[in-house]
């Protein structure tokens, strides 16, 4: 049967199903949106213009913070600041560069990427991923693939480029449907995007945006990259187990037996590359280096005399170790990465390390441009006091309708997932929504760390069913090798069960973790916020 390239509807002229029309609508809406960089530029200009209009109408709200609180005006009223005035325009011109260079996620992400680049370009991450997946027993191969996909998120796009094609090959070689392997890997890499045992580049990126938003209410609030680590580390096993069950109980039975005649090309030589003896030796030496690095870092924080404990309280919470966690992400990836490279011959001198870092930075050009415009939008939004005014109004509304209990997070997670259908970038979406929802939910009593953890669930689970996800085209191309004329709708329909199970189960896990068991989402992370 021939399939239409745009949907999963057989090409016989039959009327499209409601679900297919919904998917077409999502794709159409996403295509209407400009590039995220253009979107931030438009929003920045719009904020300036709206501030002038709002100021003309004297838009203001009563500040709910107690008298004497830092940042509270003497008269207890929050007014809109007009950026179209002479003072406003002077502020914009004088702070344009400062907004960019002072944007919290910029430096932290770039530093973390330098370390990850060494591990990636030396071949350590690719070899480790292949060793983990290809060395798994047939009974555990599905779980290992999903689990490996989640872990691969520490290395940016590596999971998409390496693991997803590899998983399809492995399933094919085992006589299983290759699209089931692809779906399992895709579920881990993209559906479990925010879960991980390790801190990755996404953690400082999101925490920096959260901190900027939280400071609209509390100017001294600090949000570190580690604030969601406990919950996200535990979520790794939930997503891996849920992804395994969905693959083996729903997706693979639905796909049925694979027919090699459906392939778009000859797959007789389609074999996954084995990990060589030299690569295995490199992995062992890199593992030893990682253990030594971990032991040295542990000496700075585990003993009571650890030099990186909090200088006043001697506690781990709020310590220089946690506040400087990005430096340790850099070290943890760079040193084992270089050791691996030396063993296998991909990195012989300091020039090879420098080249790896340089290549990584050259690939960050789009991100840096995005940050420039996102930083202006966040700064303008903060200066105008729109965030505080909307937060107070939204919090007042939530209290009026009685939606201040923990159950409101179910709605918040669903809303984030829906927004993600059309705005697939985690950083772009959070930069737009955080200045509104973080202050709003803080005012009804929830801590920024908890709000960010909930956002990460919604942002992850719908990555699997949106054509706006940046690697969706790559996934479709890999899938089309095994099933010719595979359409977007077919791929999305295959991934939809993962989204439903992840959205439901992960949300319940969050509620139980935070509000039933009372566990913190990360080291030193608060659950509730008190002004």
The secondary structure of 181-222, three-state, reads HHHHHHHHHHHCCCCCCCCCCHHHHHHHHHHHHHCCCCCCCC
- pLDDT at residue 482, rounded to an integer: 85
Instruction: Please state, in angstroms and rounded to a whole number, the distance separating the CA atoms of residues 332 and 291.
Output: 10
Please give the pLDDT value at position 424: 59
**Confidence at residue 159, expressed as pLDDT on a 0 to 100 scale:** 72
Residue 286, Cβ density class (10 Å: 0-12 exposed, 13-18 middle, ≥19 buried) = buried
Structure tokens at 335: 């040193």
**What confidence score (pLDDT) does residue 2 get?**
34
Q: Does the model's pTM come out above 0.95? A: no
User: What string of DSSP letters covers 348-402?
Assistant: -SHHHHHHHHHHHHHTTHHHHHHHHHHHHHHHHHHHHTHHHHHHHHHHHHHHHTT
Decide if 244 contacts 143 (C-beta within 8 A). Answer: yes
* Sequential pLDDT tens for the chain (531 residues): 333 333 344 444 456 666 566 656 655 665 566 766 887 889 899 999 999 999 888 888 887 766 766 667 777 788 889 999 999 999 999 999 999 988 766 777 788 778 878 887 888 877 877 777 776 677 788 999 999 889 887 765 667 777 788 888 888 878 888 899 999 999 998 887 888 887 777 788 888 889 988 988 888 898 988 899 999 999 999 999 999 999 999 889 888 888 877 776 666 655 666 778 898 999 999 999 999 999 998 888 888 888 888 787 777 766 788 777 778 878 888 999 999 999 999 998 889 999 989 987 887 777 788 789 888 988 898 888 887 787 777 767 777 777 778 889 998 999 888 888 766 566 777 887 888 889 889 988 899 999 999 999 998 898 888 766 667 767 887 888 888 777 777 788 888 899 999 999 999 999 999 999 999 999 888 999 987
CA-CA distance, 36 to 208, in Å (whole number)?
Answer: 18
Please state, in angstroms and rounded to a whole number, the distance separating the CA atoms of residues 51 and 59.
9
> Following DSSP, what letter does each residue of 131-187 receive, concatenated?
HHHHTS-TTTHHHHHHHHHHHGGGGTTHIIIIIHHHHHHHHHHTTS-HHHHHHHHHI
* Residue 268 confidence (pLDDT): 60
Spell out a b/e string for 403-430, using b for 16 or more CB atoms within 10 Å of the CB, else e: ebeeebbbebbbebbebbbbbbbbbbbb
């Amino acid at each position: 049967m021939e399939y239409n390239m745009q949907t999963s509807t057989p090409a016989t002229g039959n009327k499209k199903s409601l679900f297919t029309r919904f998917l077409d609508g999502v794709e159409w809406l996403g295509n209407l949106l400009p590039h995220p960089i253009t979107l931030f530029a438009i929003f920045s200009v719009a904020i300036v213009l709206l501030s002038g209009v709002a100021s003309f109408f004297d838009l203001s709200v009563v500040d709910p913070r107690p008298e004497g609180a830092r940042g509270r005006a003497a008269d207890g009223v929050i007014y809109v600041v007009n950026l179209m005035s002479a003072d406003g325009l002077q502020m914009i011109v004088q702070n344009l560069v400062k907004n960019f260079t002072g944007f919290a996620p910029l430096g932290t992400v770039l530093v973390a990427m330098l370390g990850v680049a060494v591990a990636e370009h030396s071949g350590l991450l690719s070899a480790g991923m292949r060793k983990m997946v290809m060395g798994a027993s047939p009974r555990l191969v599905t779980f290992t693939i999903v689990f490996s996909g989640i872990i691969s998120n520490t290395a940016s796009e590596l999971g998409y480029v390496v693991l997803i094609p590899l998983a399809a090959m492995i399933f094919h070689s085992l006589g299983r449907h290759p699209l089931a392997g692809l779906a399992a890997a895709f579920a881990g890499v993209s559906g479990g995007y925010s879960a991980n045992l390790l801190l990755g580049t996404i953690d400082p990126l999101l925490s920096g945006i959260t901190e900027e938003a939280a400071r609209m209410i509390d100017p001294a609030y600090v949000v570190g990259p580690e604030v969601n680590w406990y919950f996200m580390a535990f979520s790794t096993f939930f997503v891996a187990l849920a992804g395994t069950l969905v693959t083996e109980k729903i997706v693979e039975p639905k796909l049925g037996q694979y027919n090699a005649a459906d392939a778009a090309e000859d797959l007789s030589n389609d074999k996954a590359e084995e990990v060589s003896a030299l690569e295995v030796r490199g992995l062992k030496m890199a593992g030893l280096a990682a253990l030594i690095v971990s032991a040295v870092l542990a000496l700075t924080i585990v003993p009571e005399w650890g030099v990186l404990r909090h200088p006043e309280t001697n506690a781990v919470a709020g310590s220089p170790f946690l506040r400087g966690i990005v430096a340790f992400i850099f070290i943890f990836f760079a040193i084992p990465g270089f050791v691996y490279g030396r063993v296998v011959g991909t990195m012989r001198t300091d020039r090879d390390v420098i080249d790896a870092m340089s290549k990584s930075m050259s690939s960050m050009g789009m991100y840096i441009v995005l940050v420039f415009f996102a930083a202006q939008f966040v700064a303008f939004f903060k200066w105008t006091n729109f965030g505080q005014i909307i937060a107070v109004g939204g919090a007042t509304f939530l209290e009026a309708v009685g939606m201040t209990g923990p159950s409101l997070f179910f709605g918040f997670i669903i809303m984030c997932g829906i927004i993600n259908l059309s705005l697939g970038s985690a950083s772009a979406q959070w930069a737009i929504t955080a200045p509104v929802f973080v202050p709003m939910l803080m005012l009804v009593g929830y801590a920024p760390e908890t709000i960010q953890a909930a956002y990460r669930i919604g942002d992850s689970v719908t990555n699997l069913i949106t054509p706006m996800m940046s690697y969706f085209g790559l996934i479709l191309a890999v899938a089309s090798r095994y099933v010719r004329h595979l359409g977007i709708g077919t791929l999305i329909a295959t991934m939809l069960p993962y989204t439903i199970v992840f959205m439901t189960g992960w949300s319940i896990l969050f509620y139980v973790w935070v509000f039933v068991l009372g566990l913190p989402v990360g080291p030193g992370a608060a659950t509730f916020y008190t002004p």
